Structure 1
Amino acid sequence: MGGNNKIVAFCCENSACAAADRAGKIRLYYPDNVRVIRVPCAGRVDVLHILKAFEKGADGVLVMGCQEEACRHLTGNTRARERVKYAEILLKESGIDGERVRMVNLAPEMAHKFAQEVSEMTERLKGLGPTPIKNGGPQR
């Protein structure tokens, strides 16, 4: 059980979604606190999508795309990584720990890595607690 910490995972349909599906098919354990959102490419995930996920109640966000130099859209994973870094900066400037958002590169067959990343984010969030965004904003 994932506890009360909610994770949104934006998953590239060409890689991370296949890894998530495979994790389910081979019955790998990972916390059930993750909501997978299928996207055509991780590069389509904008900073606003990440911030909106937090606003809507997520405690952590994973952006999961193709492995480096294996993106079907050529630079989608690179764009996603840059946007995740920018989201980290915005969160920190707002008094929220940037560790709540993470970029992960996966190949379709990497079901174990998918499960591991969800588990690691869940553990990280246990230490950070609920996001202050859904409780009226950060306390400074």
Structure 2
Amino acid sequence: MHAEKQQHAFEPKIVAFVCTWCTYAGADLAGTSRLQYPANIRVVKFPCTGRIDPVFILRAFQKGADGVLVSGCHPGDCHYMAGNFHARRRFAAFRQLLDFIGVDLNRLQFSWVSAAEGGKWVDVATELTERVRELGPLREFAALEAEEHWSGALATPELQEAYNSI
């Protein structure tokens, strides 16, 4: 018996910045296991969460994301030794900045999902989508897109590609 797809008045756009080695593999496991989760999430894959610049999160909001998920390897399991520890510290400070500029912190989630945790990926994706759906659209950053004059250089073609794909 198929469950009917529930229709909502607002469907949020969520960008997920994920680690290739763990969270991306966990999301892939969820897909190959035919586990259902909301289709609202657009995944952007990075070698490590330690490579995710907070500017990418601001860019995602600027380009119309209503929520952002950052997810990688569990602490101690990083393929690059300590990348996820650096990311955790960076995003703790970044959350304070978002709060200062008036972004509801319920729109940003940081999580650990391993390659073997397809079910946890489903839970994280579903919970964030439902939470952001209740908050409604994020419109505060839309005007910034027209005014962008950011001149930062992205050091590698990989980062340039990730930035442009947001």
2:59 corresponds, among 32, 52, 57, to 52
TM-score (norm 1): 0.90
Are 2:15 and 1:29 aligned?
Answer: no
1:41 corresponds, among 48, 54, 59, to 48
Are 2:103 and 1:96 aligned?
Answer: yes
- How much is the aligned-residue C-alpha RMSD, in angstroms? 1.6
Give unpaired runs (5+ residues) of structure 2. Answer: 145-166
Moved more, 31-40 or 90-99: 90-99
CA contact (8 A) 2:68 2:109 kept: yes
Quote the Cα distance in structure 1 between the aligned partners of 2:142 and 2:17.
23
Residue 23 of structure 2 corresponds to: 16
1:6 corresponds, among 7, 13, 31, to 13
Q: Offset at 1:135?
A: 4.5
2:82 corresponds, among 75, 85, 107, to 75
| Larger of the two Rg values belongs to structure | 2
Q: Offset at 1:92?
A: 1.2
1:83-126 Cα offsets, whole Å, 9 max, x none, are 22223212211111112111111110100000110100011102
Q: How many residues align structurally?
A: 137
Q: Offset at 1:134?
A: 4.1
Quote the Cα distance in structure 2 between the aligned partners of 1:89 and 1:132.
20
CA contact (8 A) 1:106 1:114 kept: yes
Moved more, 35-44 or 78-87: 78-87
CA contact (8 A) 1:9 1:64 kept: yes
Give unpaired runs (5+ residues) of structure 1. Answer: none
Quote the Cα distance in structure 2 between the aligned partners of 1:5 and 1:124.
10
**What percentage of residue pairs aligned between the two structures are identical?**
41
Amino acid at match of 2:114: A
